[in-house]
């Protein structure tokens, strides 16, 4: 593939084979270069044979998808807002700008969906991604409220859960996920997660030098409430503007401590009953 002025080669090296313990792979979505073409949505649907969403017209902006769902594993949001800096005004040629962003499953380091799945339908792959095995899913829906991002959804016709797999079938063969392959601006980048985080840091620094003061990374920090995301973003405004939670926390984070306390409480009750019983006999 040819070089891109921002990021270099579009694809990872074709001969970069995966050993027994491949590095963790992920997505870096740079919203500052997203043009809202929706090529990622189309490529995702075509490769994964995802049903259509009904082709509904929502009646606001140019977004006809609305959000992530069982039948939309990539969603490009269109957000119109007043320009907030000189660069944005110059680019827009007016006093407003479009914020466009392709949203996707975050493939969390600490994934609540994995914690609550009773059948093993959800599993962590050798690439660090989280995948649903639809032939094992029993449609219980426990994973849906366990996701802090509201990503997972059930199909109405069969009740099973569906979400982005980061094209597990493609990356296992050393290929790029369909959405990243189709993106014409490299807004969606796929590669080794550590390398993507380093690249994203340089990109944010460059935008700050250009006067884009609100540019920031989202989901890249391993110390956040989900242990860092396998799919993180460069945003040009607050996360809430894009419909993202400002401080996501995996709902199952406190389960070990809760079970520990419940265990101690149970032991205390057993001890109290034993003392009462022995005391009554004397």
Residues marked as binding for [4Fe-4S] cluster? 34, 37, 40, 44, 105, 108, 113, 117, 137, 140, 143, 147, 164, 167, 179, 183
- Around 227, how many Cα atoms within 13 Å sit in the side-chain half-sphere? 12
Letter string b/e over residues 15-53, b meaning 16 or more CB atoms within 10 A of that residue's CB: eeeeeeebebbbbbbbbbbbebbbbbbebbbebbebeeb
The position carrying tokens 């609540």 is 112
Give the C-alpha separation, 82 to 194, whole Å: 34
Question: Quick one: which of 11, 17, 15, 66 has its CA closest to 41?
Answer: 66
Residues in the annotated binding site: 34, 37, 40, 44, 105, 108, 113, 117, 137, 140, 143, 147, 164, 167, 179, 183
Mode of pairing for the β-strands spanning 216-218 and 161-162: unpaired
Residue 115 in tokens = 């914690």
């Amino acid at each position: 593939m040819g070089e891109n002025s921002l990021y270099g080669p579009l694809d990872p090296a074709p001969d970069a084979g995966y050993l027994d313990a491949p590095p963790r792979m992920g997505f870096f979505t740079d919203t500052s270069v997203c043009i809202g073409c929706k090529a990622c949505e189309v490529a995702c649907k075509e490769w994964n044979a995802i049903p259509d969403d009904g082709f509904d017209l929502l009646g606001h902006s140019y977004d006809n998808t609305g959000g992530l769902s069982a039948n939309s594993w990539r969603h490009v949001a269109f957000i119109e807002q007043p320009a907030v800096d000189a660069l944005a005004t110059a680019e827009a040629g007016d006093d407003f700008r479009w914020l466009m962003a392709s949203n996707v499953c975050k493939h969390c380091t600490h994934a609540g969906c994995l914690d609550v799945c009773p059948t093993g339908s959800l599993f962590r792959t050798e690439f660090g991604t989280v995948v649903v095995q639809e032939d094992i899913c029993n449609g219980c829906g426990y994973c849906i409220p366990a996701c802090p991002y509201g990503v997972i959804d059930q199909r109405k016709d069969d009740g099973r859960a569906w979400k982005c797999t980061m094209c597990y079938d493609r990356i296992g063969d050393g290929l790029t996920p369909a959405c990243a392959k189709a993106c014409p601006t490299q807004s969606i980048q796929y590669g080794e997660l550590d390398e993507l985080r380093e690249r994203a840091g340089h990109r944010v620094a460059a935008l700050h030098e250009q006067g884009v003061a609100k540019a920031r990374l989202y989901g890249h920090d391993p110390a956040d409430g989900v242990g860092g995301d396998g799919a993180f973003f460069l945003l040009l405004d607050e996360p809430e503007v894009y419909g993202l939670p400002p401080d996501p926390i995996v709902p199952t984070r406190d389960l070990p401590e809760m079970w520990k306390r419940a265990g101690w409480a149970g032991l205390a009750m057993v001890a109290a009953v034993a003392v009462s019983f022995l005391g009554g006999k004397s």
